[in-house]
Structure 1
Amino acid sequence: MTDRSHGIAPAELPDDDLRRELAHLHETRHDTVLGGSESALHAHTERMLALEEEFLRRFPEDGAPDPRRTRAGSRENAGQPVPGRDLG
C-alpha cells in the first residue's frame, strides 16, 4: 500500500496539480516556519522539496534563472566586460 500521508507522490500529479500544490506550499511556508510544530515543519519541508524537484525535472526552462539575475547578466547590463566571453 502506498503511503499518502503527505499527499500524492509528486511524479503522479498532473502538471496543473503539481503547479497548484507547489504554489500553495510556498504560500503557507512562512506560517509553517513561524507557528508549526517541529514535525509539521519537517513534513512541509520534505513535501516542498519533493514538489520542487519534480517541478524542475518537468519544467527545467521555468526553473532557469533570468539571465539578468546572474552575475554575467548584471555585468552585461551595466556595460562591464563579462569574464570568459569573447569581446570581439
Structure 2
Amino acid sequence: MAEHDSGVPAERLDDRVLLRELEAIHRTRHETLLHGSAEALATHTARMRELEAEYLRRHPARVPAAGRTRAGARARATEE
C-alpha cells in the first residue's frame, strides 16, 4: 500500500505505533461502515487488513483468551 494512500506501510511501524493504529481503526470501523462512501469503506478495509496481517505476522504464537474460542463460547452458553 502506498504511503500517501493510507499512511505508513504497516511493516514499517514499530510495535507501539502498530497497536495504536489498530486501536484507532477498530474504533472508527462502525462509523465508516454506516456512513462512509464505498471508497472510504474500501480504503478502511484494506488498511485494517494490512494492520491486522502485520500484527499476526509479528505474533504468530499469540495465545487466544479461553473465552474467545469456540469451546469458551460453548461454555458460556451452557452457563446462561
Q: Same fold (TM over 0.5)?
A: yes
Report the equivalent of 1:3: 2
Pick 1 or 2: higher relative contact order, CA cutoff 8 A, min separation 6: 2
C-alpha distance in structure 1 between counterparts of 2:2 and 2:59, whole Å: 26
Q: Does 1:67 align with 2:66?
A: yes
Q: Secondary structure at the match of 1:8?
A: coil
3-state secondary structure, aligned to 1:60: coil
Rate the CA distance shift 1:31–1:56 in 2: closer, same or farther, 3 A: same
TM-score where L is the length of structure 1: 0.72
When Rg is computed on C-alpha atoms for both structures, the one with the higher figure is 1
User: What is the aligned-residue RMSD (CA, Å)?
Assistant: 2.1
- In 2, distance between residues paired with 1:68 and 1:61? 17
The within-5 A match list for 1:1-88 is 3-4=2-3, 5-62=5-62, 64-73=63-72
Quick one: distance in 1 between partners of 2:70 and 2:34?
33
Q: Structure 2: which 5+ runs fail to align?
A: none
1:26-55 per-residue CA deviation (whole Å, 9 max, x = no partner) reads 000000000000000000000000100000
User: Normalization by structure 2: what TM-score?
Assistant: 0.78
> Is the helix fraction higher in 1 or 2?
2
